[in-house]
Structure 1
Amino acid sequence: MRLSALYRYPLKSGRGESLQQVVLDRLGLEGDRRWMLVDEPSGRFLTQRAVPHMSQLSALWNAEGGLTLSAPGYPALDVPLPGADAPLRGVTIWRDTLRVPDAGDEAHAWLSDFIGKPTRLVQVPPDRARTTQAGYGKDDDQVAFADGFPLLLIGESSREDLSSRVGRTLEMLRFRPNLVIEGFPAFAEDGWKRIRIGDIEFRVVKPCARCILTTIDPQTGERSADREPLATLQQYRAQEGGAMFGQNLVNDGIGRLEVGMPVTVLE
């Protein structure tokens, strides 16, 4: 078994970027979902669930931790990492509320025009990270702006199995994984508890319940009229809590990951 692909999403619910190698820190992939859009009046987080055209928003992470925003018909905008004196904004993501640095008025103007309503860009430094979903993993596990856990793993064979049932090839980015692994049967990952990639160990803490986001074409931002692949997942992958596809992981070490690294199931 080997690591066959790596994906990072610098902006929560923005476009993903394919990587050949990446540093892994205590919040997952370095630069992954450290930025987020929020509705300005309420502070509530925004995603493609409510704003499908966010799929067309590119936010590339740079080595200084800042972002370069771009979208069709819009000039690129470089947004620096907020400094220690940046104003804090109260935000809500699912059931969590926290105060995090705001990226400033230039990003606000650019994004408000793109989104179509007053929108702020915020960033989470490591010392303001959230704890992971209660009841899974360890009490001190942390996560940035990902839904519940730092990392999502999907098996290549699992995607192929789902594609064959739906009747068309489904792009892996539709499911927004961080780690893609090949060389084992479909859904074998459901039975794993611990794995090692290279020299780094990971805990498999919870299957991922999928939502309407899987029906959005990552290239066009359009939703499938037939509600696929969610409709098929609900037929054969339904469990208590939803239709499951992929596994949420927490890393127990830091270091570097690279496509092609061997994967070992430890438990």
Structure 2
Amino acid sequence: MHVASLHLYPLKSCAPLDADTLDITPRGPAGDRRWLVVDDTGRFITARQRNEMVGIRALPDGDGLRLDAPGRPTLRVPVPLPDAPRRPVVIWNDTVHAQDAGDAAADWLSAWLGTPARLVHMDAGARRAVDPDYAAPGDEVSFADAYPLLVISQAALDGLNARLASPVPMARFRPNLVVAGSAAHAEDGWRRVRIGGIEFDAVKACTRCVFTTLDPATMTRDADGEPLRTLMEYRRTPKGVTFGMNLIPRGTGVLRVGDAVVPLA
């Protein structure tokens, strides 16, 4: 087994970036989901609420971020200064005191999404713990849904697409790592895995939602509810429909496309 592809999401719910390497930190890949869009109450906005989120291309730009979207002017957003205002933002059941990225970014996002929105940044001072039911004391996560990384086997997607009338891309599932050379859903059985020179705990299968029905190319949802409808036929568990495995790193370093993947437990 080996790493077939690597993916980064600088802004939560934005378009994915393909990468040759990922620099793994305790919170997950460096630069992954360190930016978040929130509404005027401070609650997070994702493509679950606003399809247009997946149309935003957020590119690392020096110490900041460059935002692009169809028909919108490009905006460069610098990383907020250490003394920038902080605001409490809510992501799921967590409250994070994140840095506000300023009015220019807020205006740009509000115009694109058609609703009041602000951009916030997670620096070293913004802390968010991983669910203690699945983590060790001190484990942290970015603005990802719940865990530092997500891995999916390519064979899992191939098996799903064999059941669908219209195949879907891996982008529907937003993994950081795609693994080739395994059986479909081999990751379900992992408890600890070494990828390249880094070990990870495989802590919880990823439960899937309506986000999978959103076509990132068109920013519209599949009218027939696919691929979630088909996944319900063979991937339903007591905790929901699962597809992929959440990982917590137990070391730091660089992952590369082609790295070996070795289950340890």
Shorter-normalised TM range: over 0.9
State whether structure 2 residue 52 is matched by structure 1 residue 53: yes
TM-align CA RMSD: 0.9
Assess, with a 3 A threshold, how the Cα gap between structure 1 residues 48 and 101 changes in structure 2: closer, same or farther.
same
What corresponds to 2:262 in structure 1? 264
What corresponds to 1:88 in structure 2? 86
Using the alignment, how far apart are the partners of 2:26 and 2:132 within structure 1?
18
Greater than 2 Å deviation, 4+ residue runs: none
Using the alignment, how far apart are the partners of 1:204 and 1:106 within structure 2?
40
Using the alignment, how far apart are the partners of 2:221 and 2:43 within structure 1?
23
What corresponds to 2:102 in structure 1? 104
Structure 1: any 5+ residue segments left out of the alignment?
Answer: none
1:240-260, Cα deviation, whole Å (9 max, x unpaired): 221000000001111111101
Alpha carbons 1:55, 1:220 under 8 Å: kept: no
Using the alignment, how far apart are the partners of 1:118 and 1:212 within structure 2?
23
Using the alignment, how far apart are the partners of 1:112 and 1:96 within structure 2?
23
Using the alignment, how far apart are the partners of 1:26 and 1:146 within structure 2?
13
How far residue 223 of structure 1 moved from its aligned partner, in angstroms, is 0.3
Alpha carbons 2:97, 2:127 under 8 Å: kept: no
What corresponds to 1:190 in structure 2? 188
Aligned runs of 1:31-42 on 2, under 5 Å?
Answer: 31-40=31-40, 42=41
Aligned runs of 1:163-174 on 2, under 5 Å?
Answer: 163-174=161-172
Using the alignment, how far apart are the partners of 2:44 and 2:65 within structure 1?
18
How far residue 168 of structure 1 moved from its aligned partner, in angstroms, is 2.6
1:18-59, Cα deviation, whole Å (9 max, x unpaired): 00112111111110000000002x111000000011111111
Alpha carbons 1:10, 1:33 under 8 Å: kept: yes
What corresponds to 1:236 in structure 2? 234
Opposite residue 105 of structure 1, the aligned amino acid is D
What corresponds to 1:44 in structure 2? 43
Structure 2: any 5+ residue segments left out of the alignment?
Answer: none
What corresponds to 2:16 in structure 1? 16
How far residue 123 of structure 1 moved from its aligned partner, in angstroms, is 0.6
Q: Which deviates further from its counterpart, 19-28 or 177-186? A: 19-28
What corresponds to 1:71 in structure 2? 69
Using the alignment, how far apart are the partners of 1:117 and 1:185 within structure 2?
44
Using the alignment, how far apart are the partners of 1:240 and 1:111 within structure 2?
38
1:61-85, Cα deviation, whole Å (9 max, x unpaired): 2342x11000000111110001111
Opposite residue 142 of structure 2, the aligned amino acid is A
1:222-254, Cα deviation, whole Å (9 max, x unpaired): 100110010111111111221000000001111
1:76-118, Cα deviation, whole Å (9 max, x unpaired): 1110001111001111110011211000011111111111111
What corresponds to 1:215 in structure 2? 213
What secondary structure is seen at the aligned counterpart in 2 of 1:243?
strand
What secondary structure is seen at the aligned counterpart in 2 of 1:91?
strand
What corresponds to 1:27 in structure 2? 27
Using the alignment, how far apart are the partners of 2:168 and 2:70 within structure 1?
24
Assess, with a 3 A threshold, how the Cα gap between structure 1 residues 63 and 261 changes in structure 2: closer, same or farther.
farther
In structure 2, which of residues 138, 142, 145 is the aligned counterpart of residue 140 of structure 1?
A: 138
Say how many residue pairs are matched: 265
How far residue 167 of structure 1 moved from its aligned partner, in angstroms, is 2.7
